[in-house]
Structure 1
Amino acid sequence: MADITTTELRQRLQAGETPNLIDVREPWEYEEGRIDTAQNIPLSSLPDKLDDLDAWKDQEVIVHCKSGARSSQAKAYLTQQGFTNVRNLLGGFTEYSAG
């Protein structure tokens, strides 16, 4: 699945959509600023949380971090685990919060 731009995500959130968002940054980063509907699961904790995310396997899941590097790893990992529609937020939270 193609990645998602910050513009597209912002438009969808403003339209009232609630996509499955995972923020893979560390808790302290999440506390400094976040996308309201995002669930914080640090990249290192993702393997331990797979059971909690099982219902999302065939749904769109958007992952993001600060710039896109960790979320690229998260996208690859989730895809390897059988998730069928994982999208990375291009530019990450840095670009999202600048818009």
Structure 2
Amino acid sequence: MNDLSQQEWTKQLNEAHDAVIIDVRTADEVVEGMIPEALHIDIFKGQGFVDEINELDKTKSYFVYCKSGGRSGQACAVMSQLGFEKAYNLVGGFTEWQGDSVLP
């Protein structure tokens, strides 16, 4: 897992040809806005979260965020244990996000 600042996270996201953005916040948090094109997979689903993550292509690059960076860090650790080699945590999360956002 790699913890990246917003600048590093955005730079690598823009350079990755196989990038997938994952929002691991709750549905109540997502209604406040989300990063464009993000998949919403709530980490609080427990085994359901693991099941959904396991369906993803392990060879792609995953850019993961939550509200402040804690849960997305946990999500990246889970992904690493499941065999994902490229999972990047957005330090500061959506709270500190200064890029574009959209309403779901």
Q: Fold match, TM over 0.5?
A: yes
> Larger helix proportion, structure 1 or 2?
1
5+ residue gaps, structure 2? none
CA separation of 1:58 and 1:13: change in aligned 2, threshold 3 A: closer
Match of 1:64 in 2: 65
TM-score (norm 2): 0.76
CA distance in 1 between partners of 2:30 and 2:21 (Å): 13
The letter of the residue matching 1:31 is: V
> Larger strand proportion, structure 1 or 2?
2
Q: Deviation string for 1:32-58 (max 9, x for gaps)?
A: 1110111110002321203431x1x12
The letter of the residue matching 2:51 is: D
Match of 2:31 in 1: 31
TM-score (norm 1): 0.80
Determine what percentage of the aligned residue pairs are the same residue: 39
After TM superposition, the structure 1 = structure 2 runs for residues 17-96 of structure 1, keeping only pairs within 5 Å, are 19-45=19-45, 46-53=49-56, 55=57, 57-96=58-97
Q: Is the 8 A contact 2:23 2:65 kept in 1?
A: yes
For this pair of structures, how many residues does the alignment match? 96
5+ residue gaps, structure 1? none
Q: How large is the RMSD of aligned CA atoms in angstroms?
A: 2.5
